[in-house]
Amino acid sequence: EKVSELEEVGQVGKNNTGVLFLGATNTPWELDQAMRRRFDKKIYIPLPDTRTRAELFRIAIGKESHSLTRDDFLQLAEKTSGCSGSDISVIVRDALYEPVRTCQLATHFRRNVDGKFAPCSPSEQHGIEMTLDQVPDKCLKPPELLLRHFEAALRQAKPTVASSDLIRYDEWTLAFGQDG
C-alpha cells in the first residue's frame, strides 16, 4: 500500500501545470545567473506611495480606539515618504505604546462614569492619587490613540531603505526585471 502511495507522488512531480513558485528578496543583485534564469518574471515592487502608506497606517491600527481622521492618515503618510510597510508597522507599534507610557507614568487617575480609571493630571478635581499598579484589574481606561502619539513615534523613526538602495533596485530592474 505504501509503495502505491509513493508511485502516485512520483506522478505528481512529472507535471508542473498549475504550479506557481514565488520568491522574494531584498537583495536581488546577490542572486547568481543560474538562479535568475529559473524565474520567468522578476518584478520590482517599489516602496508604498502616499495613498498606500495612509492605508497601511489605518490597517495597522486595527480596532484600537483612536481619533485619527482621513486627513490625519494622509498627513502621516506624507511624513513617511521613503518608509517601507515594515517601517510603518514599527511606527504604529511605537505610537500604540504611547498611551501605555502615559498610564505607567501617571500619579493620578480619575474614575469615569463607566467605573474605569483613566490617567489624569494631579490638579484634576476628582483625581485620585494612585499608580498604575493600584488600578483594580480590568478597570483601566487607557487614553485614546491620538495624532500626537504618532508624531512622537515619528520623531524617533528612520526609514530602513536608503536612497542608494533604491537606485540599486532601479538599476537591477533595468538590467534583469520589470516594474510591478
Lowest mean pLDDT among 25-29, 51-55, 93-97, 107-111: 25-29
Is this model's pTM higher than 0.85 or not?
Answer: no
Say if CB 84 and CB 165 are below 8 A apart: no
Average pLDDT over residues 77-83: 96
| Cα end-to-end span (Å), the chain | 47
Q: Say how many residues make up the chain.
A: 180
Asked whether the predicted pLDDT for residue 13 surpasses 80, the reply is no
Bridge pairing between strands 43-44 and 178-179: parallel
Least trusted range by pLDDT, from 4-8, 76-80, 109-113, 165-169: 4-8
3-state secondary structure the chain: CHHHHHHHHHHHCCCCCCCCCCCCCCCHHHCCHHHHHCCCCCEECCCCCHHHHHHHHHHHHCCCCECCCHHHHHHHHHHCCCCCHHHHHHHHHHHHHHHHHHHHHCCEEEECCCCCEEEECCCCCCCEECCHHHCCCCCECCCCECHHHHHHHHHHCCCCCCHHHHHHHHHHHHHHCEEC
- Please write the tens of the pLDDT for every residue from 41-50: 888 889 999 9
- From 55-59, 128-132, 161-165, the region with the lowest mean pLDDT: 161-165
> How much is the mean pLDDT over the chain?
89
- The rounded distance, in Å, linking the Cα atoms of 144 and 154 is 18
Sequence-distant (≥ 6) Cβ neighbours of residue 144 within 8 angstroms: 65, 66, 67, 99
| pLDDT of amino acid 179 | 67
How many Å apart are CA 159 and CA 91, to the nearest integer?
10
Sign of the C-alpha dihedral computed for residues 85, 89, 91 and 92 taken in this order = positive
CB 77 within 8 A of CB 54: yes
pLDDT for 180 equals: 60
Tens-place pLDDT, residues 136-152: 999 999 999 999 999 99
Over residues 104-136, the pLDDT tens digits come to 999 999 999 999 999 999 999 999 999 999 999
* Band of residue 39 on the pLDDT scale cut at 50, 70, 90: confident
The mean-pLDDT minimum among 2-11, 48-57, 82-91 falls in 2-11
